Amino acid sequence: MSLLRSPSSEPLWKEEFSVFTADERYVTRRQFVKFLSLASVGMFVGNLWILAKAYFAKPPTYPASAIAEVGEIPVKGVKLFSYPGPDDRCIVVRTSEEEYVAYSQKCTHLSCAVYYSAKNDRLECPCHQGFFSIKDGSVLQGPPPRSLPKIVLQTAGGKLVATGVEVSENG
Amino acid sequence: MHGYEFYVDPSRCIGCQSCVKACEECETHRGKSMINFDFIDRSGTTATAAYVCWHCEEPTCAMACPADAIKKGEDGVVQSSLKPRCIGCSNCVLACPFGIPKVFPELEQMMKCDMCYDRTSIGKRPMCATVCPSQALSYVRPENITRRREKPTNVFYFGKQKIVTRVHMMVPETSDSVSLDVLDYMWEESDVAFAQPQ
Amino acid sequence: MAKPDFTTQRRGLVAIDGAMALVIILLVVQIWLLSAALEGFLAGHHRVALPAAIFSGLLLACCLGLNAFVDRVDRESRKE
């Protein structure tokens, strides 16, 4: 505390327990402002922590994982799978004869599972009526703040292979 | 406060003890007077003196209190000890150069004059100054006190300690300050100057 | 030790009250900044971390400056 205290002739105990009521009020306020400054320091440290994590974050590596056979899914049909880990639920939709799109199933609002609505040709979240575009996973309507992470698909040897996750920079 | 100052003139005191009785009537300390009434030399003279708390700028009693029970407010009045804090240790009694605080052992509490704060804070005069028939204790505006022959002073010397008070004492025109140390009146003048801080 | 002058003390207290109110406002802004930076980072926008940290540092500097101001007013009121 001696670092935060400007030099004075009086010992600290005399200042903190002053016989003058006017000074007592000063002491209470001074202590409060000191506490607020400490809180400010704490939050700055929090921001530095985030900065450190961002700086030292490794780009994530994704293993290639076969998720379905080509032709297994009918047109406008869906299949649920897990990628990259067993708890990361995803959904793949065959939008046409040749095209498949896959997204993370966790709604970016409060992580409810989204489903594909063939009638409206979009991904819908039943919890709060959040709708995502089937083309790129962007938010069409509702409370979700960000677009759905897109799963990168490739075909190899008659199988659909998931090779990565794309998170868009803009919400 | 409110433009008034307290003046004590012991030479005017006639010993009627009206101040003592008036002070006793206060509800907060009924029966116990906060006036320090002094029979100066009872066998030798009828002269008396009545004193109130001098409400020093830097109250020695407050600074000596181990329980932080004595506080001086923004308006300069040194309050009596705070009831929850006072432990009746008599440190203030020993510390005060004027001998004002009184400890009441049955209450384990120190009580002293607070210049009738309930009255002076709203512009009234303290009880003692109101009832004193000779105005030995008076609470008047500074311009009114200049009519007297004596002049007021609020600087006291207690050994090497210089005390500046809120309450004024009437002294002869030639004096500037009052020395509380008996020895200061027994030494030669040159030695008195040496004893006091410059 | 202080020889408190009523008016000067009052003015000092008003100044300190003002500084305290300012500090609280800055703190609220800093809280929001921290939460926004965290949310952005978790969403994958790693580029927000640096500007957020810089602005948080600026807010901290302002808070410390106001703290020093409060200390100075306090010292001056005692000296008089």
**E strand intervals along chain B:** 5-8, 36-39, 48-51, 102-104, 109-111, 137-140, 151-158, 161-171, 178-179
- Residue B10, pLDDT > 80, answer yes
Q: Is the pLDDT of residue C2 over 50?
A: no
B46 CA: distance to closest CA in chain C (Å) = 39
Q: Which whole number is the average pLDDT over A72-99?
A: 88
Domain boundaries, chain B: 5-195
Contacts of B75 in chain C (CB under 8 A): 6
Using the CB atoms, write b or e for B181-190: b if 16+ within 10 Å.
beebeeeeee
CB contact under 8 A, A47 and C72: no
Average pLDDT over residues A88-117: 90
Angle at B108 between CA B104 and CA B110, to 5 degrees: 55
Lowest mean pLDDT among A3-12, A20-29, B145-154: A3-12
* Residue numbers in A near C14 (CB within 8 A): none
Is residue A170 scored above 60 in pLDDT?
Answer: no
Instruction: State which residue of chain A sits closest to C46, comparing Cα positions.
Output: A54
What's the pLDDT band for C40 if we cut at 50, 70, 90?
A: confident
Lowest mean pLDDT, pick from A3-17, A91-105, A131-145, A148-162: A3-17
**C1 at interface of B, judged by CB pairs closer than 8 A:** yes
Residue B179 has pLDDT above 90, yes or no: no
Q: What are the residues of chain A with a beta carbon less than 8 Å away from any beta carbon of chain C? A: 4-6, 8, 10, 14-15, 18, 20, 22-23, 25-26, 29-30, 32-34, 36-37, 39-41, 43-44, 46-48, 50-51, 53-55, 57, 145-146, 167, 169, 171
Tens-digit pLDDT profile for residues A22-79: 777 777 788 888 899 999 999 999 999 999 988 887 777 888 888 888 888 888 888 9
With respect to residue C13, please indicate whether it lies within any of the assigned structural domains.
Answer: yes
The nearest alpha carbon in chain C to A40 belongs to: C60
* pLDDT reported for residue A167: 76
Quick one: average pLDDT of C51-76? Answer: 90
Distance from CA of C7 to the nearest CA of B (A): 10
Better-scored residue on pLDDT, A8 or A68: A68
If you average pLDDT over each of A6-10, A54-58, A153-157, C18-22, which comes out highest?
A: C18-22
Owning domain of residue C71:
6-79
Asked whether the beta carbons of residue A19 and residue B74 sit closer than 8 angstroms, the reply is: no
Who wins on pLDDT, A156 or B169?
A: B169
Look at residue C53 and tell me if it is in a domain: yes
User: Which residues in A117-145 are b (16+ Cβ under 10 Å) and which e?
Assistant: eeeeebbbbeeeebbbbbeebebeebebe
Could you say which of A37, A146, A167 has the minimum Cβ distance to residue C67? A37
Q: What is the pLDDT of residues B78-117, one digit of tens each?
A: 999 999 999 999 999 999 999 999 999 999 999 999 999 9
The residues, any chain, with a CB within 8 Å of residue A25's CB and separated by 6 or more, are: C13
Look-up of token digits 């708390």: B53
What is the CATH T-level fold of the domain B5-195, as seen in this structure? Answer: Alpha-Beta Plaits (3.30.70)
Mean pLDDT, residues C36-47 taken together: 85
ipTM: 0.84
Confidence of residue C15 (pLDDT cuts 50, 70, 90): confident
Cβ distance B120 to B77 under 8 Å?
yes
Confidence of residue A164 (pLDDT cuts 50, 70, 90): confident
The domains of chain A are located at 12-56, 65-166
**Does domain A65-166 fall into CATH 1.20.1260.10?**
no
Pairwise pLDDT comparison (B194 vs B43), residue with the higher score? B43
CA distance B156 to B93: 18
Residue A39: per-residue pLDDT: 93
How many Å lie between the alpha carbon of C59 and the closest alpha carbon of chain A? 8
The sheet with strand B178-179 has its strands ordered as B137-140, B5-8, B161-171, B151-158, B178-179
C9 at interface of B, judged by CB pairs closer than 8 A: yes
- End-to-end alpha-carbon separation of chain A, Å? 44
Rg (CA), chain B: 17
CB atoms within 10 A of CB B66: 10
Interatomic CA distance for residues B156 and A109, integer angstroms: 77
What is the β-pairing status of strands A115-117 and B151-158?
unpaired
Would an 8 Å CB–CB cutoff place B2 in contact with chain C? no
Q: Is the pLDDT of residue B134 over 50?
A: yes
> Is it the case that residue A123 has pLDDT exceeding 70?
yes
Looking at residue A30, what is its pLDDT?
A: 82
Q: Which of A6-20, A144-158, B145-159, C15-29 has the lowest mean pLDDT?
A: A6-20
Q: Which two tokens stand for residue C28?
A: 């609220």
* pLDDT band at residue B198 under the 50/70/90 scheme: low
Dist CA B46 CA B39 (whole Å): 8
Counted domains in chain C: 1
Region A72-88 average pLDDT: 87
Q: What is the 3-state secondary structure (H, E, C) of A126-150?
A: CCCCEEEECCCCCEEECCCCCCCCE
Specify the residue for token string 């002049």.
B151
Report the greatest alpha carbon distance in chain B.
50
Q: Look-up: residue for tokens 């600074």? A: B63
Show which of residues 27-86 on chain B sit within 8 Å of chain C, judged by CB atoms.
57-58, 74-76
For residue A19, list chain B residues with Cβ-Cβ distance below 8 A.
59, 62-63, 65, 68, 70-72
